[in-house]
Structure 1
């Protein structure tokens, strides 16, 4: 099928607007992930696509067929939209064997030819459940039940497959396995899909594009690489893992933190034009820990800090440090720091470094500043002003 279009979609519950004039286009064969925290409108959007909720405004079109809205005020029921759904709770019929659960969409749509041609068996084999067809759901593990649910969602070759946080009830190992299987199936079959999650790792792994939602609206709709490299707003940056935050205020001699430390945003610093406050963000993995300033690589930004707390994370330690009153998190390599860091008392002086290119800068309105790729110098620059 061709494009799936959502135009000006609005959904309210009472006086609360959950989806607010949302525009979304899903290309044929595209895997779109709706990403965001609880209450942002992602699941409600999915349910509107499925026909499980009736919006208050806007249109939903599958190719040239209007599913909701339009001049004729269409509202096509769910069972006539040719969709497949995979739910968080598996939603398998407990009194039916696996074979009958997978076959259910074919029977509802009266696709007798598909039933006779072995579509159920083929769908089960796609998810490695061919040997489970004569078992009941109660005889399956959680991972097996979710794979059966995926097979049921794909068996009728729907125009659109909708995934409502299908991995959240699985343990970490099974979550990774089923996620990989969904990704492989999409690569092989090329179905169009919308996948709802609050987990950024799932979103980056599966999505052709990520639709990051806030308050029922799209905050950013881009490829995973573009979202990772160039988050459109402070909200997006924080949600995708840029948890380290420095609030900066413009002074006569440049930018300073709330504690008065001078920060140089470089030659491409925002022009005055009303920009008097910015937020600098970076990821924990972008910070490096050192015991002395002399260890900091040439050209990196250098921060003097003290240790607050340390947690063992396997190949790294998760470290919280204090930089002149600002708390930053980082990951310290166990092989490099494992001999001293676990027993370092609170207040131990350390040095933190970062690459200027890893920093992103956002204005007071929360949106990225166009020249946020510019170098950022905080305190000293290694090799120039090391103390």
Structure 2
């Protein structure tokens, strides 16, 4: 599969603030790419540059080998000539137009009279289960219905590229899941090329063929969802995709240990960027990888054992989210309610607990600025042989 959409050296600044920093990106035809990251990382600005709604200071953008922006050539194709579909966070429906006319609008501006005559508007509405709403106005629709209409409007003209700017963030949890599933089904059915911006890792994993995790205007990791989940390339990525538990590690005389002095065997851990050669490191793991025990003799063979104190717990239906403290650091556990409800509800803050985890669940990263450990001196005999 050849790259159909390319971004090269894209740079966007606001005054002295660099928002997108020499960004390179390739998007395959039919691919659903998710730009994932926290507020201020540059993901929405990147999307707006693709749309032609922002003018970068440098770089180039090409759609299907057709340049739409090139700073060196002083080329900047306006947004209405880029053949894109856009789905906004705020729905952005025309309030004075019916649903029918909102969906028809992209066909009207492109002068696609034949598509209108052939029922493209009705077909697009039916795709998102809004066929019965065509004669209503946006004010007569729920938030979920408005966003589905916005999706239909973004797809009706069969654009080269569909851009989604956090389209689910204004919906409640139930509707968010429904519309997300509908977008996924539409992509599977129609095979359109899309770039989807979000700060929600669950949306990213559910929708993306590939994820681009962004930090300070750059891409920290660009990979398939399964690779990002299993093999985050940095502490930043690990923290952002759900490995919220962090353990500070240091090298002791007998090997690695936690900040509390508990020994920890990293033989089966996934270690990134020669972290094992440093004197300090940070380990990440997910809440559901940490087990809760009443006693140390309940710990599975081979697990790392930590003695902890209860901080708090929150009931979540089939699970509890339990916060404990060990060695001055807090860990969050997600444990089955059926197994731990009685013990937790009978516990008070500071109650002693035992937690454990498999070393294989750890992802270990070097601490920036920490130098690798010096090699052990080699003893040399009087004869000069090692």
Whether these two folds match at TM > 0.5 is yes
| Offset, 1:348 | 1.5
Residues 267 and 231 of structure 1, relative CA distance in 2, 3 Å threshold: closer
Aligned-pair CA distance for 1:324: 2.4
2-side partners of 1:288 and 1:267: how far apart?
18
User: How many residues get paired?
Assistant: 368
1:315 paired residue number? 318
Which sections of structure 2, spanning at least 5 residues, go unmatched?
A: 373-386
Q: Does structure 2 retain, via aligned residues, the 8 Å contact 1:164–1:195? A: yes
Report the CA distance between 1:350 and its aligned residue.
1.6
**Pair 60,102 (structure 1): closer, same or farther in 2 beyond 3 Å:** same
- Contact 1:317/1:331 (CA < 8 Å) preserved in 2? yes
Equivalent residues in 2 for 1:172-191, closer than 5 Å: 172-191=173-192
Cα distance in structure 1, aligned partners of 2:28 and 2:219:
17
Runs (4 or more) in structure 1 with deviation over 4 Å come to: 267-274
CA deviation map 1:340-383 (0-9, x unaligned): 2123111212211111211100012399x9xxxxxxxxxxxxxx
Deviation, structure 1 residue 262? 3.2
Q: Is the partner of 2:152 in helix, strand or coil?
A: helix
Q: Retained in 1: the 8 A contact 2:103–2:153?
A: yes
Q: Distance in 1 between matches of 2:174 and 2:13?
A: 37
Answer yes or no: is 1:242 the counterpart of 2:243: yes
Instruction: Work out the CA distance in 2 between the residues paired with 1:58 and 1:26.
Output: 16
Q: What is aligned with 1:327?
A: 330
C-alpha separation in 2, matches of 1:201 and 1:221: 17
> Normalising by the residue count of structure 2, what TM-score does the alignment of the two structures yield?
0.92
Q: Deviations over 1:121-156 (max 9, x none)?
A: 000000000000000000000000000000000000
Aligned-pair distance for 1:64? 1.4
Distance in 2 separating the partners of 1:351 and 1:90: 49
Q: Check whether the contact 1:233–1:366 (CA below 8 A) recurs between aligned residues.
A: no
Of 322, 327, 344, 2:347 maps to 344
* 2-structure distance, mates of 1:229, 1:48: 31
Residue matched to 2:222:
221
How far 1:71 sits from its partner (Å)? 5.5
Bigger CA drift: 329-338 or 79-88?
329-338
CA drift at 1:287: 0.6
Residue aligned with 1:170, SS: coil
Specify the SS of the correspondent of 1:255: strand
Relative to the length of structure 1, the TM-score reads 0.91
Any conservation in 2 of the 1:235–1:366 contact (CA below 8 Å)? no
Residues 31 and 195 of structure 1 are in contact (CA less than 8 Å); yes or no, is this contact kept in structure 2? Answer: yes
